[in-house]
A and B are shown apart, each in its own frame.
Chain A
Amino acid sequence: MWNLRAIRASEEAIVSDGPLIVQSDKTILLEVDHELATEARHAIAAFAELERAPEHVHSYRLTPLGLWNARAAGLDAEKVLDTLLRYSRFPVPHSLLIDIEETMSRYGRLRLEKDPQHGLVMRTTDYPVLEEVIRAKKISPLLGPRIDGETVVVHSSQRGQLKQLLLKLGWPAEDLAGYVDGTPHLITLNEDGWHLRPYQKLATENFWAGGSGVVVLPCGAGKTLVGAAAMATSSTTTLILVTNTVAARQWKDELLKRTSLTEQEIGEYSGAVKEVRPVTIATYQVLTTKRGGLYPHLELVDGHDWGLIIYDEVHLLPAPIFRMTADLQARRRLGLTATLVREDGREGEVFSLIGPKRYDAPWKDIEAQGYIAPADCVEVRVDLPRDERVAYAMAEDADKYRLCATSETKTHLVEQLVAQHQGEQLLVIGQYIDQLDEIGARLDAPVIKGDTTVKVRQKLFNAFRAGEIKTLVVSKVANFSIDLPEASVAIQVSGSFGSRQEEAQRLGRLLRPKQDGRAARFYSLVARDTLDQDFAAKRQRFLAEQGYAYRIMDAKDVPTG
């Protein structure tokens, strides 16, 4: 184990003043202002996950999944170690080097392949590994007869589950078994007055070359277009899975605008409508509806010969969809997301079932290219009035957050801020409906919440996009996948506790580039000395770690009037 076979680094390859500091706790610090920083960032992005990106020092984490992603992208341990040694300012902890080599060597020792005679088989280059996994209790029922020392038949229906279990055992399999073609259906991009951005093109190409996998792009960077481009490349019937109906409609509009597809070719499969067309957009909710212990709409997924399945917002994929996906391993799968971090920690399942990460662009790069708007986050601290503080102090734990989050002072402050941003497209976002209703009434602005019908929602969103409505008050229904390109100011009055993902999504609403290149402004109103402030601290850390400019100010410093 002492012998790192993979390393070829010569003395000269090591520069002593690189931009990286490799820590023994498996993080890599990147000094952003260093002259080699960009070069180093591109080199390590392939195998390390960006964890924090504040202004001066970014930190990346080395995880087994990240390293296996790199292997899947064709990078070997030798290159990874070489990169670390080349760009590291200080000696790289030796145990880490050994660990990386060992982890990376685990990927691909097992391969899933198509055998002309036996169908789907698992092959190995390392006999003991096969012996080990064959003996694993959960895996043996998924396997068929042993063909020879290095090969074993796999029941083709168990391809997904096998990959999942192998990953858990720490022997991720490389899936080389290929895909079914699906029903051909011509789709072309309608590049008229717009063009795919270079990174969108690259993401599509990387995905297609890899077969299946996930593309990670920041909010507002145009993930839908990557999906459309993938569909055009595939030119087959396609199933698109999205989070909700509004998102489904948005996908449809976008596809009509950007591709050769016509109204008749795109179907919506949701709670309200159930159309199956060559391109079908279905919501997670309808697919996961359970009736009498069965999923009645599952047939949509496996009863048709889809050539491509697109998963929007992969980080939100519900568990039953994973189970379905396990049976779909022979179809091309594209996952789209802004973040691979799942609050439930199921990143491993995304890796084994949808596929490895195929493209990842740090939002800083995309922002620098002008494709997304810069954002300016401001936390405004309000002092609760005396009576509210006493009420807060005496409240039950369960009510405390609601009490402080819906303070009346916040409503006044919202008015002040709205006045300050007169004439700008403005969103007020909150968690508690009563509070939103009150704010809506005060501002004389429409409120969109859970019980607003889809039709009304779309109408309001359209009016907002057209600039007919300047201010919109929305609840958490607008967190995801709603495209409001002109919104430039958002005021968050309350959130669902400290959810980092929600924060990212809400901010994401603002990041579509503005026509005049203005920076987006994101206000968070926080009641001082309360739970609200604790949650805000978590969000602040998250946003600062993402690299957004962040300021804190007191409510009394907000200009009145």
Chain B
Amino acid sequence: MSLIRALSKELEARSDESLRALFAARPDLISPAAPDFAALAARASARVSVQRALERLNKPEMQVLETLHLCTNADTGHSVSAAGLKKCINGSTLAALEPILNKLQELALIHRADPPATVHNPGRQRFYLPVGSLKDVIGIYPAGLGRSYTELVRLQPAFAQRVVQLVAELHKSGADVLAATTPMDAALALQRWTSTPESLQHILSEAPIRTRPLLNKFGSWAMGAVPQAQRKASVLHEGRDVGPVDWLLARGLLVPLDAGHVELPHSVGLSLRGGAIVDHFTLKPPVPELGQTSAALRRNAAMGAIAEVLRLVGELLYAVREQPVVTLRSGGVGVRELKRLADSLRLGLSETALILELSALSGLLRLDVDSSTWVQPPTVEWLTLPRQEQWLWLVNAWLASERAPSLVGQNLPGPAATASRTGFAGTSINALSAEAQRPDAPLVRKRILEILDELTREVEALDGKAPVLNAEAVMERAEWTQPRMSRRFSSLIRGILHEAEILGLMGSGALTQLGSAIATEQPDLALRILGEHLPAAVNHVLLQADLTAVAPGYLAPELSEKLLLIAEAEGQGPATIFRFSGDSIRRALDAGQDAEAILAFLRTHSATDVPQPLQYLIKDIASRHGRLRVATSASFIQSDDEAAIAELLHEPGTASLGLVRIAPTVLTSAVSPRETARVLRELGLSPAVQEAEPAVVRYKRATAVAGGARPVYTAPRTAPPDDDVDAQLAVLRHHRGVSGDMTGEAATQLGLETLQRAIRLKQAVTMNVVDGLGNSNTETVVPVSVSGGRVRVFDAARDTERVLSIHRIIDVEPAGDPRK
């Protein structure tokens, strides 16, 4: 019976409970709803669906499934029971295997089958077969074991040519191997020669030293890289100092695949593992050896990081408001623009990129399509929130984001990337560009946080200590819990841990209380913890005679903003230092403030007296502010001070202005007033820019664009909603079609299954194919391979190979099928 039919029957016989469990574990099966059990079975057997299901299996489950795959043969109906599997899995017990087999069956990855003909007294044992597409999904090296000699002979023409001679040489040298005349016989002879651990042991007893360690490298994966794999190696011309690779190649214990790779054949690998497919089996995940850090240090690091990230995001928003971030034509923010931001944040490039990405993914920046710049939305609720809520906003947005900020600055994969060797140069990933998009990032993030939480709970820490979790420990655990998915972790994991550290979810290398609250989806708990520990904002500064104002802590945002207008920020850390200078005071005066207002503001917000030099500076600059006037109409410079005019005229720095003295007190300039004023200021003068003409007023687009909404994070849901499951069950239970009648989806899958089976058994099929004109023809051909929506067939009638699109095939039956 077809595997899909068998599965369909089995699914139909299941209880609703069991089906619900299946749908929860494999939500893709009912999205969209399946019309009947046949379609459901077809979907469950489809390659993509099986692939997804395998991603959720842990290491022992995968081991059992791979072993089951190796021990069975659907074509001959050779099924296997738990007892049969136990023999192939070292260290396993029936008690351990049975629940796993039940789970796999529940997941519709394997199904019950009749006992094989060789078993005469099955008793109460249950026998299983895997679903059809498992072979494709698992790949050519199930359980890391290679292909058999016969398969290699069939697929590797070079080996097929060589194998007869190789066996003959072995035979001649006295090895216990039968002589053979055809490649297939030779392959069988080799298979027999290496079939048991004892025989392999015997063969290897004469091997040169270093052979064992070399073979051990093939322990978990059958293929390996070897230089000049197709070298000539013969038992007959072997010297005493033969190397291990030559020795193994000469005996066919390694089979060359191409110029650089070799494969360890199935029987050799199996014998190396002592005859068992899995040589180490345990239900307990490995617990890594981890360092410890003190809880105080962890909190210090996390709280420091949080204060820092909030401050930096705030500063970035301020910088963007002053000047929007320009994008490149190819998308993303270029290095020059990033450098500008980095300078204004007083940060390194990579940290700046992270902060920029974080702000953008949190919706605090918006891409203005008209100008292709990143701007701040008109209203940003974030700025008005208490700091712990600001933090949660960032964390939620980060959890849900499909961007991987840490990829920014890394080299793009691909041939072009090899040209550039240095960090940001060449073809590296730009900030806010599409290349840093990773659709599975939320899922990976969630898993990593879960693993961090798991490990933190499992590892015993001393009093007041917390385990330090590194990328390796997380990776090791990920490889155990989801071996098929772990590869996707590897490129993101370091970045995610770094980002978690920046957000205070980790501190000093350990998961913080905040991190564990977030990992277990308790944002309120996190808010409460943070609220207790974040210091309150300060509302005063300390003014000093060296013309600085020091804010001893986190300064209230509105105060900080006003101070930034009259002073430059300096330094980096929890406290900010504002430095007053002639330029900064002038800036404030240009913005319409006067000396008294500035002094009054400082007096109100200073915890100390305004020092005399600062008072003097402000009054001095203000009294002279406007001594020079620059007008728009003719762009002239006027001053009552003739000496100043003379000074200007002879000043080499004004050469670019093309100054002409039109009166003792007036100069004209050839460039715009703004530029003129800039040059004058650079010379340390203090011109007032006078807008004589009504300036062109630029109206901004009035349509209000909503600011980024507060992100609400919902963990990536893996189980489908209950309503969908109920609806699906209703559909399935009501559709009481004949289960043998395969239509729609099921028919396609069934057709593919028929083709694949025919390929394996080299049988001919009869298929109904539609040609380009819409006419259907019935043809009998031998399929050779199926992939990418196309099937390659051998047409015996025309003695040629052809490629057909699968969607053109209406119907496919094994040739000579009685129903035809």
Contacts and interface: CB of A to CB of B under 8 A. Distances in A.
Contacts of B612: 550-552
A57 B304 contact: no
Interface in A38-85: 52, 54-57, 85
Nearest to B542: A56
B544 A94 contact: no
Interface stretch (B295-303, B371-379, B800-808): B295-303
A7 to B, nearest CB: 5
A116 B545 CA distance: 58
A8 B294 contact: yes
B575 A21 contact: yes
Contacts of A534: 684
Contacts of B617: 552
Contact of A16 (B470, B535, B646): B535
Contacts of A7: 293-294, 297
A24 interface: yes
A174 interface: no
A9 interface: yes
Contact of B291 (A3, A90, A549): A3
A456 interface: no
Contact of A393 (B292, B574, B647): B647
Contact of A57 (B293, B542, B613, B616): B542
A93 B304 contact: yes
Nearest to B652: A397
Interface stretch (B46-54, B174-182, B392-400, B547-555): B547-555
B395 to A, nearest CB: 18
Given A54-B546, A386-B643, A552-B612, A23 B296 contact: no
B575 A4 contact: no
> Which of A7, A90, A550 gathers the greatest number of chain B CB atoms within 10 Å?
A90
Given A9-B294, A9-B297, A22-B573, A56 B304 contact: no
Given A11-B464, A57-B542, A544-B613, A31 B552 contact: yes
Given A31-B552, A393-B646, A25 B346 contact: yes
A27 interface: yes
A463 interface: no
A389 B647 contact: yes
B470 A2 contact: yes
> Which of A8, A21, A57 gathers the greatest number of chain B CB atoms within 10 Å?
A57
> Which of B291, B612, B643 gathers the greatest number of chain A CB atoms within 10 Å?
B643
B572 interface: yes
A90 B470 contact: no
Contact of A54 (B545, B616, B646): B545
Nearest to A16: B535
Interface string B255-295: 00000000000000000000000000000000000011111
A9 B464 CA distance: 10
A56 B300 CA distance: 26
A551 B507 CA distance: 47
A432 B647 CA distance: 24
Nearest to B647: A393
B22 to A, nearest CB: 42
Contact of B509 (A2, A11, A545): A2
A264 B509 CA distance: 68
B502 to A, nearest CB: 11
A56 B544 contact: yes
Given A9-B294, A9-B297, A90 B643 contact: no
A10 B294 contact: yes
Contacts of B647: 389-390, 392-394
B208 to A, nearest CB: 33
B50 to A, nearest CB: 39
B307 A27 contact: no
Contact of A14 (B296, B301, B575): B296
Interface string A459-470: 000000000000
B508 interface: yes
B545 A3 contact: no
Interface string A11-39: 10110100001111101010100000000
A89 B547 CA distance: 24
A551 to B, nearest CB: 5
A55 B573 contact: no
Contact of A91 (B304, B545, B552): B304
Contacts of B468: 2-3
B464 A29 contact: no
B305 interface: yes
Interface string A523-559: 0000000000010000011001100011111000000
A505 B484 CA distance: 72
A23 B546 contact: no
Contacts of A4: 293, 297, 508
A524 to B, nearest CB: 12
Contacts of A11: 295-296, 464
A92 interface: yes
B572 A91 contact: no
B420 interface: no
B746 to A, nearest CB: 54
Contacts of B613: 540, 544, 550-552
Nearest to B648: A393
A541 B546 contact: yes
Interface string A82-115: 0001000111111001000000000000000000
A56 B548 CA distance: 10
> Which of A9, A94, A552 gathers the greatest number of chain B CB atoms within 10 Å?
A94
B374 to A, nearest CB: 25
A9 B295 CA distance: 9
Contacts of B574: 21-23, 89-91
B226 to A, nearest CB: 32
A93 B608 CA distance: 28
B325 to A, nearest CB: 23
B571 interface: yes
B308 interface: yes
B650 interface: yes
Contacts of A55: 544-545, 608, 611
Contacts of A386: 643
A36 B383 CA distance: 35
Contact of A25 (B470, B535, B553, B573): B573
Contacts of B346: 25
A29 B550 contact: yes
Contacts of A57: 542, 544, 550, 552
A12 B543 CA distance: 33
Contact of B545 (A92, A94, A549, A553): A549
> Which of B305, B543, B550, B644 gathers the greatest number of chain A CB atoms within 10 Å?
B550
A91 B573 CA distance: 10
B507 A544 contact: no
Contacts of A22: 573-574
B553 A89 contact: yes
A467 B202 CA distance: 110
Contacts of A24: 308, 572-573
Nearest to A13: B296
A387 to B, nearest CB: 9
Interface of A: 2-4, 7-11, 13-14, 16, 21-25, 27, 29, 31, 52, 54-57, 85, 89-94, 97, 386, 389-390, 392-394, 534, 540-541, 544-545, 549-553
Which 9 pairs from chain A and chain B are nearest by CB? A23-B573, A2-B509, A393-B647, A91-B304, A544-B546, A94-B301, A25-B572, A54-B544, A90-B574
Interface of B: 291-297, 299-305, 307-308, 346, 464, 468, 470, 507-509, 535, 542-548, 550, 552-553, 571-575, 608, 611-613, 616-617, 643-644, 646-647, 650-651, 684
6 contacts: A21-B574, A21-B575, A24-B573, A57-B544, A91-B305, A544-B547
Given A2-B293, A89-B574, A393-B647, 17 more contacts: A4-B297, A4-B508, A7-B297, A9-B297, A13-B296, A22-B574, A56-B544, A56-B608, A89-B535, A94-B300, A94-B508, A390-B647, A540-B613, A541-B547, A544-B546, A544-B613, A552-B612
